[in-house]
Amino acid sequence: MKHSEYQQLLKTDKCKAQRTVFDEYLNYVYTIAFNRLRSCGSREDVDECVSDIFKDIFDSYENKPIADNDIKGFISTVALRKSAAYYHRLCRNKNSISLDDEHTDTFPSDENISESAEKNEMRRTLMKLIESLGEPDSTIIIQKYYYGRNSFEISGFVSLTPAMIRVRSSRALKKLRRLLSDNDISI
Amino acid sequence: MKKKLDLKILENSDIKTIEALSYKYRALDDAEAEKIFRRITNDTEEYYEEAQEHNVEIYHRPIWRKALSAAVSLTIVAGITTLGSLFYSQLKKSDSLNNTASYSASDSLENTFTPVAITDDYNGDILGVRNWHIEKAKNNKYGNTLSVKFVNDDTGSEFAYSECSEDKPYAYLADLDNDGTNELICNKVFGIFGGTTNDHAVIYRLRGETIEELCLFDRS
């Protein structure tokens, strides 16, 4: 969806316009927020963050003229920034230092570019390996070990019973471990 | 033991990985999506209700606590029952004692009604009058009947009057009101009292130093 299309829809039916954007980009926004807050926030925090992101998006499109027609780029920017703000709010005392601190200038950055590049490469390989498990095993693995859902919750994503999901999950995990070992990946 | 798999490595991914994740895998189901949309459209009340239901932690009470609670409850119930029955039995006992006391009191009251017949042989006090004598007169009109006057020797005045058959006591002494002093019960057979004859009695009683007269009759 483009910004102009959204604006057109907004003029005729505001509710429908918001619902369309929400349905189209919810998975994307939620993935961004969850990816950032997975370790430091609860599921409720992620829900709150996602709803705040959409509120900001709707508010921006309604009240301010947006020059860029790329709605996805705008949404991802808002989502990343809002998630980062939530992350800093939730993990304030863990990883942040004050700018007023006199040692701020000499404080080394945690970012290691080469390590970061290696990690990104490893992530892509991991994603490919998980994908190679095929459906529904890949979905089960992601939902269980990334989103932290139980078998009953996962049954809402794949058409299997919780008992069957547990069996398949166990087999898929063994297979994934073997694949990771073959690719010299340790996680 | 194998370490549990955790895909923590996927956290804080670059935008390409995030896009791949979001493109290939659903992050939330329809119900969760609906919940968030309601929250966005300011239907917060409903959202929080659902969130609370979702986050209800099922609390399993330990079995020993259940057993302890049951035992304590039973002890309390047993205690209340025992105390209640004890109190009730005590109450019953005191009631029976009261009844016995009242029966014995009524028995003793009945005993006080045992009259003392005043005949020619009687020489005790009558209504506190130590010195007295009787003046008898035969009533010719009714045959075999006597008019009896009780006269105080010290004052010379009549203090009681009775009418009786010749072969019967002149009057009776009995402590009717249980005040420790005998009343004098006299018969009246001649006069009309309460509309009929021969049906009434006169009771003389002592109050202080005064002798009072009470008339009783049977209306039936």
CATH number of the domain to which A132 belongs: 1.10.10
Q: What pLDDT shows up at residue A111?
A: 67
| Subunit contact A120:B21, Cβ cutoff 8 A | no
Segment (H or E) for B161: strand B158-165
Q: What pLDDT shows up at residue B44?
A: 46
| Subunit contact A31:B17, Cβ cutoff 8 A | no
Token pair, residue A70, equals 């790329």
Give chain A's mean pLDDT.
Answer: 81
Q: What pLDDT shows up at residue B78?
A: 92
Distance of CA A159 to the CA centre of its chain: 24
> Which of A20, A22, A50, A90 has the most B C-beta neighbours within 10 Å, making it the best mutation to test the interface with B?
A50
Q: What is the DSSP string of B153-181?
A: TTT--EEEEEEEETTS-SEEEE-TT-SSS
Please indicate, yes or no, whether residues A129 and A83 belong to a single structural domain of this protein: no
| Subunit contact B17:A131, Cβ cutoff 8 A | no
Please indicate, yes or no, whether residues A81 and A18 belong to a single structural domain of this protein: yes
- The residue among B6, B39, B54 that closes a domain is B54
CATH number of the domain to which A29 belongs: 1.10.1740.10
Q: Any residues with CB less than 8 A from the CB of B57 and at least 6 apart, and which?
A: none
In a domain, A28, yes or no: yes
Q: Any residues with CB less than 8 A from the CB of B60 and at least 6 apart, and which?
A: none
Amino acid present at A116: S
How many other CB atoms are found less than 10 A from the CB of residue A85?
13
Please indicate, yes or no, whether residues A69 and A125 belong to a single structural domain of this protein: no
Instruction: Indicate the number of domains in chain B.
Output: 2
Amino acid present at B22: S
Please indicate, yes or no, whether residues A8 and A88 belong to a single structural domain of this protein: yes
Give burial (CB, 10 Å; 0-12/13-18/19+) of A87. Answer: buried
In a domain, B183, yes or no: yes
**Which residues in chain B touch residue A143, judged by CB atoms under 8 angstroms apart?**
25
Please indicate, yes or no, whether residues A15 and A79 belong to a single structural domain of this protein: yes
Cα–Cα dist A76/B51, whole Å: 26
Q: Range of A13's domain?
A: 3-94
Q: Range of B208's domain?
A: 116-217
* A residues 136-155 lying closer than 8 A (beta carbon) to B: 138-139, 141-143, 145-147, 153
Please indicate, yes or no, whether residues B48 and B121 belong to a single structural domain of this protein: no
User: How many beta-carbon pairs below 8 A join chains A and B?
Assistant: 113
Q: Which ranges constitute the DSSP H helices of chain A?
A: 3-12, 14-37, 43-63, 71-90, 92-95, 113-132, 137-145, 151-154, 162-182
Least confident of A32-41, A56-65, B152-161: A56-65
Q: What pLDDT shows up at residue A154?
A: 86
Q: Any residues with CB less than 8 A from the CB of A2 and at least 6 apart, and which?
A: A69, A70, A71
Tens of pLDDT along chain B (220 residues) come to 566 777 777 877 788 888 888 888 888 888 888 888 888 886 545 555 555 555 555 566 778 888 898 999 999 999 999 999 888 888 877 766 665 555 444 444 455 567 888 888 888 888 888 888 988 888 776 667 888 899 998 888 888 988 888 888 889 998 888 888 888 998 876 665 555 566 678 889 888 888 888 877 655 4
- Residue of higher predicted confidence among A5 and B160: B160
Q: What pLDDT shows up at residue A133?
A: 85
**Which residues in chain A touch residue B41, judged by CB atoms under 8 angstroms apart?**
15, 18
Phi/psi at B13 (5° precision): -70, 165
In a domain, B43, yes or no: yes
Task: Please state the rounded mean pLDDT for residues A28-48.
Answer: 87
Check if A113 contacts B (Cβ < 8 Å). Answer: no
In a domain, B121, yes or no: yes
Q: How far is B29 from chain A (nearest CA, A)?
A: 7
| Subunit contact B36:A51, Cβ cutoff 8 A | yes
Phi/psi at B113 (5° precision): -75, -5
Per DSSP, what are the bridge partners of residue A181?
A: none
Token pair, residue A143, equals 């939902």
In a domain, A187, yes or no: no
Cα–Cα dist A102/A91, whole Å: 22
> Model confidence at A98, in pLDDT bands (50, 70, 90)?
low
Is the ipTM value over 0.95, yes or no?
A: no
